[in-house]
Amino acid sequence: MKLTFIILGISFMALNAQASNILNAPPDEVSQTDRYIFFMHGKIVEKKGLPAKSKKYGSYHYKKMLKSIANGGFVVISEARGKDTDINDYSAKVVGQVNELISKGVPPKNITVSGFSKGGRMTAVISSLLTNKDINYVILAGCREGDISQYDLKLSGRILSIYDKNDDSFGSCDELFATGKDDVVSNEIVLTIGDGHGVFYSPRDEWVDPLIEWAKQ
């Protein structure tokens, strides 16, 4: 009985430690050695709340994604946005949060901003606003024609794009990469899973692993 109690106690502490690494806003006290990832979900959560489910792609496993990313050794900062959240307003909010971390001594290279679909578009806006060459960005199926002019995008930082070849709404970020200065570092991964936008409805290794690797470089 005593051994069982100890094992359960350790398991409980591990769960609490994992939960403490998933936040809806930057912590009051930060570690300069921790790595922080902002993750912005797709529009489906705005439309349907949580849990969210698409007729075409099935359930959107938002919380599982956050846990999967946190397990990579990160403090994940993410919140479920309200209906019809304005892209510019929310991007400005995240810019303030990133600057808050930097002001507390977190090196920019330890900060990653990422997002899927609408969250990916926000990621591009945030990159344009921050103009810091050392911050990491991951755009998950978030580039589409017209966004450059609509949001006056001029990227900065280290930017990774990931999308599926069968996505009929979002595609390559090549034109977006071209808006950046010479010090922009960019890369793009085209997945061949074939599920289009639905690839990013669950924490698949095909996109989670490259995201984590990019954030740790």
Contacts of residue 61, defined as CB under 8 A and 6 or more positions apart, other chains included, come to 201, 202, 203
Give kind and range of the element (H or E) at residue 2: helix 2-20
- CATH classification number, 34-216, choose in 3.40.50.2300, 3.10.20.340, 3.40.50.1820, 3.40.50.880: 3.40.50.1820
Q: How far apart are CA 78 and CA 135, in angstroms?
A: 17
According to the model, what pLDDT value does residue 145 have? 85
Residues 24-67: tens digit of each pLDDT: 999 999 999 999 999 999 999 999 999 999 999 999 999 999 99
β-pairing, 111-116 with 36-40?
parallel
Q: Is the pLDDT of residue 9 over 90?
A: no
Q: Is the pLDDT of residue 18 over 70?
A: no
Specify the amino acid at residue 65. Answer: M
With CA atoms as reference, report the closest residue to 120 among 147, 93, 98: 147
Contacts of residue 200, defined as CB under 8 A and 6 or more positions apart, other chains included, come to 42, 116, 117, 140, 141, 207
Q: How far apart are CA 174 and CA 47, in angstroms?
A: 29
Separation in Å, CA 59 to CA 55, 162, 194: 9, 20, 17
According to the model, what pLDDT value does residue 49 have? 96
Residues 144-194: tens digit of each pLDDT: 988 999 999 999 999 999 999 999 999 999 999 999 988 899 999 999 999
- The residue ranges of every structural domain in the chain are 34-216
The pair of three-digit structure tokens given for residue 161, joined into one six-digit string: 């794009």
Q: What is the pTM of this model?
A: 0.90
